[in-house]
Amino acid sequence: MNQLLSEPAKIELRHVTHLYVTTTRAFMAVKDINLRVAEGEFICLVGPSGCGKTTLLSLIAGLEKPTAGKILIDGRPVEGTSRQVGYMLQQDFLFNWRTIEENIFLGLDIQGIRSRETEAYALHLLEEMELADVRKAYPAQLSGGMRQRVALVRTLACQPDILLLDEPFSALDYQTKLKLEDLIFSTLRRHKKTAVLVTHDLSESIAMGDRVYILARNPGRIRSEVAVPPAIRDALPFEARNRPGFHELFHQVWKEMEVVTDAAT
């Protein structure tokens, strides 16, 4: 029992500070960030632009090393990128010269784990996204929403336990965005992934997340944390927006954001 209690968090940031150094100055992107994400949890980071949201994702992904502090995944310090962590960008960035099929096998090729089984798994994911019929097509033939779904499959094909989502819906039109939110939400739940979503959209963060962190800028730091009640967080994002209590929560987060934005300007 004791062992269970002391089990390490899936993702843990301890006093993480990161600086960017240019020729003109050294600039503090994030300062003294502490956060824990439990296995299977979905957390959201919101905040004004320049508050270091994307920096945090790059650090967790191992693309950059924090200037100070520790980042642990399953209790082990992060050293460079790993198979365990998947990353989804604002746009799909599919490779135009590869077919959809070859695009979703990209990670398998890179990690040298392409085999009949892993290919079958990737194609199964493609089917789940209702894209099985475009596997031989090229990215240019697909709509924005379809392309972002392919990008999700590309990320999930490597079977990461953690998914980092960097505003993956911001380049889509509103309807597509709502549908894709539901799809990604349910896919991640079904596959029991731990997720960190960065977004500008407050209602999206409440609808999708179990917890929402509000960040302030100059330097980027955690201003406050809002827990989303079970009634809202268990519903699909589209549904969640109509649940009682959603609007109150939205206003609470909105107010926090106002404070953060005013303080910075």
Partner 1 sequence: MQPHEIEAIHRNHLRRMAKQRCLVVATQLALFLLFIGIWEGLARANAINVLIFSYPSKMWQLFWSMILDGSLLPHVAITVGETVVGFLLGTLLGTLLATLIWWSPFLSRVLEPYLVVGNSMPKVALGPVFIVGLGPGLVSVIAMGCAISVIITTIVIYTSFKEVNPNYVKVVQTLGANKRQTFTMVILPATIPTILSTLKVNVGLSWVGVIVGEFLVSQKGLGYLIIYGFQVFNFTLMKVMKIPALLVRAGVPSR
Give residues in contact with partner 1 (CB under 8 A): 61, 63, 81-83, 85-87, 89, 91, 93, 95, 97, 106-107, 109-111, 158
Question: What's the min distance (Å) between Cβ of 43 and partner 1?
Answer: 19
Q: What phi and psi values does residue 264 have, to the nearest 5 degrees? A: -85, -25
Q: Report the residue number, 111 or 143, with the smaller CB distance to partner 1.
A: 111
Return d(Cα 158, Cα 218) in angstroms, integer. 36
Region class of 130: left (phi > 0), else alpha (psi between -120 and 50), else beta = left
Q: Report the residue number, 85 or 172, with the smaller CB distance to partner 1.
A: 85
**213: exposed, middle or buried (C-beta count within 10 Å: 0-12, 13-18, 19+)?**
buried
Distances (CA, A) of 40 to 43, 175, 177, 248: 10, 27, 23, 26
Quote the DSSP letter at residue 9: P
Tokens at 151, concatenated: 């990008």
Q: Report the residue number, 122 or 240, with the smaller CB distance to partner 1.
A: 122
Question: What's the min distance (Å) between Cβ of 243 and partner 1?
Answer: 34
Q: For the chain, percent helix, then strand, then coil, each to nearest 5?
A: 40, 25, 35
Q: Report the residue number, 91 or 176, with the smaller CB distance to partner 1.
A: 91
User: Residue 257 in 3-state DSSP?
Assistant: helix
Question: What's the min distance (Å) between Cβ of 241 and partner 1?
Answer: 30
Quote the DSSP letter at residue 93: -
Q: Please count the helices (runs of H) and the strands (runs of E) in the chain.
A: 11, 10
207: enclosing H helix or E strand: helix 202-208
Question: What's the min distance (Å) between Cβ of 97 and partner 1?
Answer: 5
Q: Which residues, 6+ apart, have CB-to-CB distance to 251 below 8 Å?
A: none
Question: What's the min distance (Å) between Cβ of 83 and partner 1?
Answer: 6
Question: What's the min distance (Å) between Cβ of 142 and partner 1?
Answer: 17
Quote the DSSP letter at residue 78: -
Q: Report the residue number, 159 or 228, with the smaller CB distance to partner 1.
A: 159
Q: Report the residue number, 95 or 238, with the smaller CB distance to partner 1.
A: 95
Question: What's the min distance (Å) between Cβ of 234 and partner 1?
Answer: 30
Q: Report the residue number, 16 or 108, with the smaller CB distance to partner 1.
A: 108
